Copies of this chain bind each other. A is one copy, B any other.
Amino acid sequence: MQLSGKNILGNIESAEGKTTFYANNPATGEALEVAFIEATQAEVDKAVVLAEAAFELYRQKSGVERAEFLDTIAEELAQLESTLVARCTLETGLPEGRLKGELGRTTGQLRLFANLLREGSWVDARIDRANPDRTPVPKPDTRQMQIALGPVGVFGASNFPLAFSVAGGDTASALAAGCPVVVKAHPAHPGTSELVGKAIAKAAEDCNMPNGVFSLVQGAAIAVGQAIVRHPLIKAIGFTGSFRGGKALFDEAARRDEPIPVYAEMGSSNPVFMLPGVIAQNSETLATGLAGSVQLGVGQFCTNPGITIIQNSEHANKFEKELEKQITASESATMLTEAIQNNFASGLESLKSKNKVTSVGKGNQSEGGAQGIAEVLSTTASDFIADKEMEEEVFGPTTLLVKSNNKDEMLQIARNLNGHLTATVHGTPKDLEDYADLLKLLERKVGRLLINAFPTGVEVCHSMVHGGPFPATSDARMTSVGTAAITRFTRPICYQGFPDSLLPEALKEANPLNILRLEDGTYVMPK
């Protein structure tokens, strides 16, 4: 498939702007064909106006129709595998195997939402029937369900160029909810974005979806993104990226005449607590597991374990030695962009310059550009507690080993933590009993709490929470991964006194969609 470098505004390609930019191959530093034409303010406006027009029709499509659309997108993407992976490897430096896996995750995610729509109960239907005889006033018939918010702006992430990008979780859940989507492509992988965008546009046409249900705008300048967030017809924003980027969008949205929700996933250092008993038993396995988790995707996972807290002991020393061995034997790999590699290197330098922080071990530099070399640092619990900066995410293959003297220091670290996406505790059954208070403290800090696992790898399922208290996200009440993500783009409405024929299918008396409903306070199951 030939790239055009143009924006996709509903069913047309558009290139009115004069500013162009190129994708770079991080492995070589070379610019890649073609020139991408940055969207103008008028083009962003056109995309949003089309989305608003599409919304009136799209929100009235049945769940089954929307499910077919999502399945068709998945099908289009699956067919595009080789083209997509080839271009994406060039733009991101990520290996083919990883990208094939990520494509599978992306199509699986779309199909999961399609199945959610076919099942239909996600709308949370609630029915309270009338009682005309109630005194002193008759009881009305009231019925509630979730409906779509309106056009949604989505900002693709750099680190998952498929699963958190143009057809990623934000787009899939917004389209599932009934919201048209205007995606701002991440400038690090504009070609991948165009390929995916065209696949979605084709699926929309094949499924007779209204023109404007999906648009893609390109841009390296922040003005393009700002135009989306400021547009009065945009009703919600999905974003995955840095704290700075996410917080700027949040502030922009709060300043609008009509403030709108912003779901920004803004990074996390995902603390891992290794308890004394399990370190005594499994120091080698744990070190191997941690080293693997730290280096997964060259450390460019939102759930990378950036802080590891241990307690000083002979076994902890063995654990550290093993970790050092694994890391010093590791080979570097290409990071997503030169800028990310630079930030990673300077983040490490800034930590090491603290002189309370030392290097435990560093991997080997391979050939090629933008090499992320794994490195483990260490510090003491008291130094960590005294310096809040050490908690900040360093995006890349690293973890900061924090050595505590006792349980109290571990608890104090947990108590002082900011919000994170995840926290993890490794422990024997006895450890976990002895540290029940640690688990309780961590529960307040994160969206996902793991025992005896590693946080990298976010299962796409009904029960996942990829979210957590600020500053990990801008809205702890939601998740950006898993089926619960759909309610980010909906709101409840109550219909009072409606004749059955005017009610939406989900709320009609005969339950034609055969969904779970709360009827007069009792759950009534689908048949």
Q: What residues make up the interface of A, taking CB atoms closer than 8 Å to B?
A: 56, 60, 101, 115, 121, 126-128, 136-137, 139-140, 142-144, 147, 149-150, 250-251, 254, 258-259, 261, 429, 432, 436, 439-440, 443-444, 446-453, 457, 459, 461-465, 467, 469-471, 474-479, 482, 484, 487, 490-499, 502, 516, 518, 521, 523, 525-526
Kindly provide the distance from the CB of A372 to the nearest chain B CB, expressed in whole angstroms.
22
Q: Which residues of B contact A251 (CB under 8 A)?
A: 254
Q: Which residues of B contact A121 (CB under 8 A)?
A: 523
* Inter-chain contact B494/A464, CB cutoff 8 Å: yes
* Inter-chain contact A448/B496, CB cutoff 8 Å: yes
Report the 5 A-B pairs with minimum CB-CB distance, sorted nearest first.
Answer: A465-B494, A144-B463, A126-B463, A254-B254, A448-B494
State which of B127, B261, B457, B496 has its C-beta within 8 Å of the C-beta of A449: B496
Q: Which residues of B contact A137 (CB under 8 A)?
A: 457
* Inter-chain contact A463/B127, CB cutoff 8 Å: yes
Q: Which residues of B contact A470 (CB under 8 A)?
A: 258-259
> Assembly of this chain: how many copies?
2
Q: Which residues of B contact A492 (CB under 8 A)?
A: 447, 465, 467, 477-479, 484
Q: Whole-angstrom distance between the alpha carbons of A367 and B338 in the complex? A: 79
Q: Whole-angstrom distance between the alpha carbons of A352 and B227 in the complex? A: 40
Q: Which residues of B contact A261 (CB under 8 A)?
A: 475, 477
* Inter-chain contact A449/B140, CB cutoff 8 Å: no
Q: Whole-angstrom distance between the alpha carbons of A281 and B143 in the complex? A: 28
* Inter-chain contact B453/A496, CB cutoff 8 Å: yes
Q: Which residues of B contact A462 (CB under 8 A)?
A: 126, 128, 144, 518, 521
Q: Whole-angstrom distance between the alpha carbons of A263 and B333 in the complex? A: 47
Kindly provide the distance from the CB of A395 to the nearest chain B CB, expressed in whole angstroms.
22
* Inter-chain contact B463/A143, CB cutoff 8 Å: yes
Q: Which residues of B contact A254 (CB under 8 A)?
A: 250-251, 254, 259
Question: What are 20 residue pairs bridging A and B, where the CB atoms are less than 8 Å apart in the complex?
Answer: A121-B523, A128-B463, A137-B457, A139-B459, A142-B461, A144-B462, A144-B482, A149-B477, A251-B254, A261-B475, A261-B477, A446-B493, A447-B494, A450-B496, A453-B496, A465-B492, A469-B491, A477-B487, A477-B491, A478-B492
* Inter-chain contact B459/A128, CB cutoff 8 Å: yes
Kindly provide the distance from the CB of A272 to the nearest chain B CB, expressed in whole angstroms.
13
State which of B149, B439, B452, B523 has its C-beta within 8 Å of the C-beta of A525: B523
Q: Which residues of B contact A259 (CB under 8 A)?
A: 250, 254, 470, 474
Tell whether A136 pairs with B449 under 8 Å between CB atoms, given A250-B259, A465-B494.
no
Q: Which residues of B contact A521 (CB under 8 A)?
A: 115, 462
Q: Which residues of B contact A452 (CB under 8 A)?
A: 497
Q: Which residues of B contact A101 (CB under 8 A)?
A: 136
